[in-house]
């Protein structure tokens, strides 16, 4: 079969202008192993982006494979209303010990956007339930990304995804968020005390009483171009939410599970949100599963005799799927048995050093920012003024095509090249990835 032609005949790919596929056809992958993916012709690609940030410990990981095989032979799925199963119970029990203090109740969905929707509904409903029904609004930062369904899209702010749907969206109070590379206060990362948080304070002073929840991507606005901001900002946000009685929803879908060098990004700030949204790394990149973990306080506002009508009636068919839960358990096993979290800081630092050595001297590299294994290289037209390349040039996309032809999956966000590799990345893999990345960038600029 001509797989490429058949793909083009039938498939509408996500996040793509399909016409681009006329000149850059879909790559049909047959096999994955560790950092590498192999296409049907046997060509190898290094997956520097963890297949959209979800693969944690390499493709076709033997431990996760084994867990999945064991589970599928016992139970593939069961209705999750009134029924339960061992893997999901054990998962909550074990994951609980890793989570920030006070997050005690687990609500399952089957993808990240759905978890965000559930969290928003839960917060709104909570306030209605306790008679605080003037709190109907959500607050979120500029450049936020929280998923693609209408509610999740509404709290997000990237025009690329949201522009045409604005008439459908719920009312969200947008606050100017941190922009550390182009800091309007002209501070650098070392001396910053989260001064720009005053924008949030100003907004809250005006309408804090009407806000149900503030949703935020802790420390890294990932889809915005791996924009990294300091923990102090998050600390201030927690304090402000407490002051105004607002729920803090931490969307750790992208940054949870070791991506920032700690299990959860909130740990860097020493804060606990009222809800945390988890997905992507949760199952190691194996199965679609997501969780909203929340407090007993929120849970209890829904707990009443049936006739009071207080239940949270939200549901998804594949909630708490046993295959997903068993993969998630294998992920925790790997974290524990392979001392991943203990070894991350040192390995993260090694990678960052290599990324800097590779890219920092180019005139078109504006900033290299890093947290955990996430390393972003922002390309600019003018380093002094930090002027961006015009988006019509599609600089990132052009580099992406070159890199793919050389066997590296980079997939830049606009003009930001980034690496978000699996946590098992070895030093030789770092070198291999960076050599291709360097060549690709040079090829582009020396055309
Ligand atoms: C990916 C992502 C989502 C959406 O998750 P999906 O599973 O793609 O729906 C939400 N928030 C953040 C921060 C993400 O990175």
> Looking at the chain, which residues constitute the CATH 3.40.640.10 domain(s)?
66-337
How many angstroms separate the alpha carbon of residue 416 from the centre of ligand 1? 19
Residue 251 annotated as part of some ligand binding site: yes
How many angstroms separate the alpha carbon of residue 278 from the centre of ligand 1? 9
Task: Give which of 299, 146, 129, 120 is closest to 212, Cα–Cα.
Answer: 120
pLDDT of residue 184: 95
Query: How many CB atoms lie under 10 A from the CB of residue 227?
Result: 24
Task: Give which of 250, 264, 225 is closest to 412, Cα–Cα.
Answer: 225
Q: Which fold has domain 66-337?
A: 3.40.640
> Looking at the chain, which residues constitute the CATH 3.90.1150.10 domain(s)?
3-60+344-445
pLDDT of residue 110: 97
Residue 317 annotated as part of some ligand binding site: yes
Are 116 and 145 spatial neighbours (Cβ–Cβ below 8 Å)? no
pLDDT of residue 176: 97
pLDDT of residue 340: 98
Residue 315 annotated as part of some ligand binding site: yes
Pocket around ligand 1: residues whose beta carbon is below 6 Å from it? 111-113, 116, 145-147, 217, 222-223, 251, 253-254, 279-280
Q: What are φ and ψ of residue 34, in 5° steps? A: 60, -130
pLDDT of residue 32: 98
pLDDT digits (tens, 9 = 90+) for 49-71: 999 999 999 999 999 999 999 99
pLDDT of residue 416: 98
Q: Parallel, antiparallel, or unpaired for β 220-221 and 247-251?
A: unpaired
Which CATH code for domain 3-60+344-445? 3.90.1150.10
Q: How far out from the chain centre does Cα 392 lie? A: 26
What is the atom index within ligand 1 of the atom nearest the CA of 52?
1
- CA-closest residue to ligand 1 atom 15: 254
pLDDT of residue 166: 87
pLDDT of residue 159: 80
pLDDT of residue 280: 98
Residue 146 annotated as part of some ligand binding site: no
pLDDT of residue 162: 77
- CA-closest residue to ligand 1 atom 3: 147
Residue spans of the chain under pLDDT 70? none
pLDDT of residue 190: 86
């Amino acid at each position: 079969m001509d797989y490429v032609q058949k793909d083009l005949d039938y498939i509408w790919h996500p996040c793509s202008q399909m016409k681009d596929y006329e000149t850059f056809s879909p790559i049909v992958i047959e096999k994955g192993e560790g950092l590498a993916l192999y296409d049907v012709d046997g060509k190898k690609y290094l997956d520097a982006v963890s297949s959209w940030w979800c693969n944690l410990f390499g493709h076709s990981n033997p431990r996760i494979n084994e867990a999945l095989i064991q589970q599928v032979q016992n139970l593939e799925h069961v209705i999750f209303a009134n029924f339960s199963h061992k893997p999901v119970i054990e998962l909550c029990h074990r994951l609980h010990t890793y989570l920030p203090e006070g997050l005690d109740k687990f609500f399952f969905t089957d993808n990240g956007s759905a978890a965000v929707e559930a969290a928003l509904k839960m917060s709104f409903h909570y306030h209605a339930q306790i008679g605080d029904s003037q709190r109907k609004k959500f607050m979120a930062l500029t450049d936020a990304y929280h998923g693609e369904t209408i509610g999740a899209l509404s709290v997000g702010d990237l025009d690329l995804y949201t522009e045409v749907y604005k008439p459908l969206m719920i009312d969200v109070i947008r606050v100017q968020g941190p922009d550390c590379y182009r800091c309007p206060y002209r501070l650098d990362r070392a001396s910053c005390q989260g001064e720009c948080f005053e924008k949030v304070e100003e907004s809250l002073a005006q309408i804090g009483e009407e806000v149900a929840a503030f949703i935020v991507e802790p420390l890294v606005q990932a889809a915005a171009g791996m924009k990294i901001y300091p923990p102090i900002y998050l600390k201030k946000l927690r304090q402000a939410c407490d002051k105004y009685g607002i729920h803090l929803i931490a969307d750790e879908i992208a940054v949870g599970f070791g991506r920032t060098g700690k299990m959860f990004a909130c740990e860097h700030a020493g804060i606990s949100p009222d809800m945390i949204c988890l997905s992507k790394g949760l199952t190691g990149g194996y199965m679609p599963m997501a969780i909203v973990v929340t407090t007993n306080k929120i849970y209890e506002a829904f707990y009443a005799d049936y006739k009071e009508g207080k239940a949270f009636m939200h549901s998804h068919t594949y909630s708490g799927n046993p295959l997903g839960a068993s993969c998630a358990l294998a992920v925790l096993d790997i974290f524990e048995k392979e001392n991943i979290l203990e070894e991350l800081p040192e390995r993260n630092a090694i990678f960052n050093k290599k990324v800097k050595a590779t890219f920092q001297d180019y005139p078109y590299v504006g900033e290299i920012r890093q947290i955990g294994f996430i390393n972003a290289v922002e390309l600019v037209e003018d380093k002094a003024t930090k002027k961006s390349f015009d988006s019509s040039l599609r600089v990132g996309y052009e580099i992406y095509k070159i890199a793919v032809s050389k066997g590296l999956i980079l997939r830049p966000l606009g003009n930001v090249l980034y690496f978000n590799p699996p946590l098992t990345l070895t030093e030789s893999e770092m070198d291999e990835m960076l050599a291709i990345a360097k060549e690709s960038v040079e090829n582009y600029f020396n055309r």
